[in-house]
Structure 1
Amino acid sequence: MTKNILIPFILILLLGCKQDKKSPLSIEEDVAFLANDILKGRETGSPEEVVAAEYIQKRFQDIGLSPKGNVGTYFQTFTFTPKIDPHGQVQFVSADSTITGTNVIGLLDNKADKTIVIGAHYDHLGMGGSGSLYTEGEAVHNGADDNASGVAMLLQLALDLQNEGNQGNNYVFIAFSGEEMGLLGSNYFTKNPTIDLSKVNYMLNLDMVGRLRKDKTLSITGIGTSPIWNQVLNATNTDFKLVLGESGVGPSDHTSFYLQNIPVLHFFSGQHEDYHKPSDDSDKLNYEGMRQIQEYIEAVILELNNSSRLAFRKTKNESEEVPMFKVALGVMPDYLFDGKGMRIDGITEDRPAAMAGLQKGDIVIQLGDSLVTDMMSYMRALSSFEEGNTTKVIVDRKGEKIDAEITF
């Protein structure tokens, strides 16, 4: 055997051994498989992504979901030509092409009039390349939080909802390919649906749900896509400090469904320093936090069981208001921070913030002459600078105001 044939063969053997057990697999076990080094980061179209798809298919079968991909299968494949222009669009084609992605789709059919779609992307960055924040060459980007965590939670939700019996809803579970390349799998599915989209009541998207913090801050975006979301999310919440966002448009797969006039929610446990780096490994996930998020999602679903069809509402596209930048501070913002200012969640070495002595946990409250009260005001302030500019920054560091000089 050649090396290219041998590796997928070994992976398939590993898949079979992993699932040769009587009891259902746990969230930890699903993450451990999907985020294993041997899967080489599950890059879209790679042999290793295909093995991950086979794994998810087998899990769907064991749970008892029916195939809902291409006729008689769990797989919906799509071929495409990668975009050369970063501002252009990917072209889906029917013939052989450069890359083939594979959505994995399972149905829990309760013969109901309403269908709920639950989705999570399973692809990641492979060995790095475009999108990676790692600067030291090729390395396996396991993507435990992004997004083995979402797929593992999706599988547990499928198992629990199957065990609940007929709840008045059908459930379609989709593990999307191509998300990291631009929401390709969800885009393709909504334009080539294997179900009747007119029966979809709402879509829940699980993307990066594995790093719940000690303060239990949970971000949920899309609440503006139906008038009922705010009420239901707060009524069923007993554990979390919720950070709620209105827009149905965002950098994940729920966007594709929102654009089809379907109410959506995106669950997200927060950014971290391991995002899009090889260090996003399974041992760093908060598995108890994942179970709490899963139980919360089930409570939301059950709360809506006897309700009528959700009304859809268009929301402001917040991404259209984001200013363009010519410079970067070299920090990772804390997107779950709901206080005044922009809290720094990570610092990149040898970039302006690090060289100015800023630290993780600092809250930027002024940049140049502009006050910073939230993420949008921070971005507006940053957009006014060009490379070579020097300005002052004021941060709140544990209650103390610290002045520093920043050179971009």
Structure 2
Amino acid sequence: MKKSIWLVFLVAILSCKQEPVKVYTLRDDVSFLASDSLKGRETGTANELMAAGYLSWRMEELGLDPAGNAGTYFQTFTFKPKKDPHQEIQYVEASDSTITGTNVIGFIDNNAANTVILGAHYDHLGMGGQGSLYRGDAAIHNGADDNASGVAVLMQLAKKLKESELKGNNYLFMAFSGEEIGLLGSNYFAKNPTVELEKVNYMINMDMVGRLRESKVLSVSGTGTAPIWPQVLNSSNQDFELVLQESGVGPSDHTSFYLQDIPVLHFFTGQHEDYHKPTDDADKLNYEGMEKITSYIMEVIAELNDDDKLVFQKTKNESEEVPRFKVALGVIPDYLFDGEGMRIDGVSEEKPAQKAGLQKGDVVVQMGDSTVVDMMSYMRALSAFEEGDNTTVVVDRKGEKISVKITF
């Protein structure tokens, strides 16, 4: 009898050895989150909850401690949908007319004095609606780059930090809900933290990091929020052409932490023609580039592992300087372009730019009487026009200056 029991036990052990534990890759996480079955992960839907369940399972599998509410990986927040786009969201008790979003939070406790927060939003636009740049019928917006890419990098960082000897900080990993409708999940956490914000060293945000280009240009925002950031980012860099932007305020979740006087960084590989459209799919991502970004962020964290708590400093709020527009040219600017002018990264259908024959890659150097030398001068020039106005736009197209007539 005893021999039979040991035989069964031995077979069980051998069976386990023949089935190694699956190691989840960047592609695995993106493929799940950006699959049609999740129908775009819109905040407050059953599909977003499926994504949250998957992420909590991944965090548990990686050995992260739950850091949400009541011993779970989840932190929920409830709000009423806005009727006025300028209205501030109010968090309320749940009722028939409310929406509930779910942050997913895991923790590595190294018994350190300070904590580093790493985050990425996992919600997207569902079937389209407000925020979509797609003009067809309702369709699934899978959001592979925006922002399954950032969440996939977040999971890889969790794995690497769990296995590393970097014990100088604790690490909090957050997958935010509600980013697409106003940074709601990160804003709620910043006002209802599950760790002491006074002990947060810095916050790193990954939002749209899946489309690294051949030029290897990587944008990093928030570099003015701590004096040490430029030095660390440059000394740790081996693979990228960095575009460093000082402001701690921007259209992503790092803003919520900057407003709590926490140093922040936001990593971003640029917009593209699939942004906020159903065509933002998993097969279009640069997974090798994502691996390089993951390694780079690990280098930055390692560089600061033995340092004192970072010193926070306020930055200029560039969003307050953006002019108001009454018209649109109908292009996607290339925010990673650091040359003279405003390079077009995409052209919207049936908008003034397309009707005038402007193309992706054109660099706008003049609009009317205004010279365009950068993004801000382009926006100032555009703000001078009203619907029905006509003007001339000059672009540099592969070294040739071309003038076109534009009607707004």
Q: Settle same-fold status: TM greater than 0.5.
A: yes
Report which stretch shifted further, 269-278 or 157-166.
157-166
- Give the drift of 1:98: 1.5
> Equivalent residue for 1:11?
none
Equivalent residue runs for 1:90-239 within 5 Å:
90-96=89-95, 97-239=97-239
> Equivalent residue for 1:305?
305
> Equivalent residue for 2:359?
359
Structure 1 contact 134–278 (Cα < 8 Å) conserved: yes
User: What is the CA deviation profile of residues 110-154 of structure 1, one whole-angstrom value per residue up to 9, with x for unaligned ones?
Assistant: 010010000000000000000000000200000000000000000
Structure 1 contact 42–124 (Cα < 8 Å) conserved: yes
> Equivalent residue for 1:381?
381
- Give the drift of 1:94: 2.6
5+ residue gaps, structure 2: 1-18
Q: List structure 1 runs of 4+ shifted beyond 6 angstroms.
A: none
User: What is the CA deviation profile of residues 382-407 of structure 1, one whole-angstrom value per residue up to 9, with x for unaligned ones?
Assistant: 00000110100000000000011111
- TM-score (structure 1 length as normaliser): 0.94
SS for the counterpart of 1:153 is: helix
CA spacing shift, 1:284–1:21, aligned 2, 3 Å: farther
Report which stretch shifted further, 196-205 or 347-356.
347-356
User: Partners of 1:167 and 1:111 in 2: how far apart?
Assistant: 8
SS for the counterpart of 2:344 is: strand
SS for the counterpart of 1:340 is: coil
- Give the drift of 1:83: 1.4
> Equivalent residue for 2:33?
34
User: Partners of 2:199 and 2:159 in 1: how far apart?
Assistant: 22
2:74 is the counterpart of 1:86: no
User: Partners of 1:339 and 1:220 in 2: how far apart?
Assistant: 17
Structure 1 contact 217–243 (Cα < 8 Å) conserved: yes
- Give the drift of 1:346: 0.4
5+ residue gaps, structure 1: 1-19
What code does the residue aligned with 1:215 have?
Answer: S
- TM-score (structure 2 length as normaliser): 0.94
- Give the drift of 1:21: 7.0
> Equivalent residue for 1:58?
57
Structure 1 contact 82–91 (Cα < 8 Å) conserved: no
User: What is the CA deviation profile of residues 302-340 of structure 1, one whole-angstrom value per residue up to 9, with x for unaligned ones?
Assistant: 000111110000001000000000100011000000000
> Equivalent residue for 1:12?
none
> Equivalent residue for 2:13?
none
Structure 1 contact 270–335 (Cα < 8 Å) conserved: yes
CA spacing shift, 1:263–1:172, aligned 2, 3 Å: same
Report which stretch shifted further, 158-167 or 89-98.
89-98
2:287 is the counterpart of 1:287: yes
SS for the counterpart of 1:262 is: coil
User: What is the CA deviation profile of residues 244-278 of structure 1, one whole-angstrom value per residue up to 9, with x for unaligned ones?
Assistant: 10100000000000000000000001100000000
User: Partners of 2:133 and 2:279 in 1: how far apart?
Assistant: 11
Structure 1 contact 83–91 (Cα < 8 Å) conserved: no
SS for the counterpart of 1:261 is: coil
User: Partners of 1:25 and 1:70 in 2: how far apart?
Assistant: 26
2:74 is the counterpart of 1:75: yes
What code does the residue aligned with 2:287 have?
Answer: Y
> Equivalent residue for 1:5?
none
> Equivalent residue for 1:274?
274
User: Partners of 1:361 and 1:91 in 2: how far apart?
Assistant: 42
User: Partners of 2:364 and 2:127 in 1: how far apart?
Assistant: 34
What code does the residue aligned with 2:307 have?
Answer: S
CA spacing shift, 1:166–1:396, aligned 2, 3 Å: closer
Report which stretch shifted further, 165-174 or 393-402.
165-174
2:330 is the counterpart of 1:330: yes
SS for the counterpart of 1:403 is: strand
User: What is the CA deviation profile of residues 3-22 of structure 1, one whole-angstrom value per residue up to 9, with x for unaligned ones?
Assistant: xxxxxxxxxxxxxxxxx971
Q: How many residues align?
A: 389
User: Partners of 1:137 and 1:225 in 2: how far apart?
Assistant: 42
Structure 2 contact 166–305 (Cα < 8 Å) conserved: no
User: Partners of 1:280 and 1:155 in 2: how far apart?
Assistant: 20
CA spacing shift, 1:401–1:89, aligned 2, 3 Å: same
- Give the drift of 1:166: 4.8
SS for the counterpart of 2:299 is: helix
Structure 2 contact 202–262 (Cα < 8 Å) conserved: yes
User: Partners of 1:24 and 1:61 in 2: how far apart?
Assistant: 14
SS for the counterpart of 1:224 is: coil
What code does the residue aligned with 1:45 have?
Answer: G
> Equivalent residue for 2:9?
none
What code does the residue aligned with 2:247 have?
Answer: S
- Give the drift of 1:23: 2.2
> Equivalent residue for 1:45?
44
CA spacing shift, 1:275–1:21, aligned 2, 3 Å: farther
- Rg larger in structure: 2
Structure 1 contact 226–311 (Cα < 8 Å) conserved: yes
What code does the residue aligned with 1:23 have?
Answer: K
User: Partners of 2:329 and 2:182 in 1: how far apart?
Assistant: 25
User: What is the CA deviation profile of residues 157-182 of structure 1, one whole-angstrom value per residue up to 9, with x for unaligned ones?
Assistant: 00000000452110000000000010
User: Partners of 2:150 and 2:81 in 1: how far apart?
Assistant: 25
CA RMSD of aligned residues (A): 0.9
SS for the counterpart of 2:180 is: coil
Structure 2 contact 121–150 (Cα < 8 Å) conserved: yes
What code does the residue aligned with 2:407 have?
Answer: T
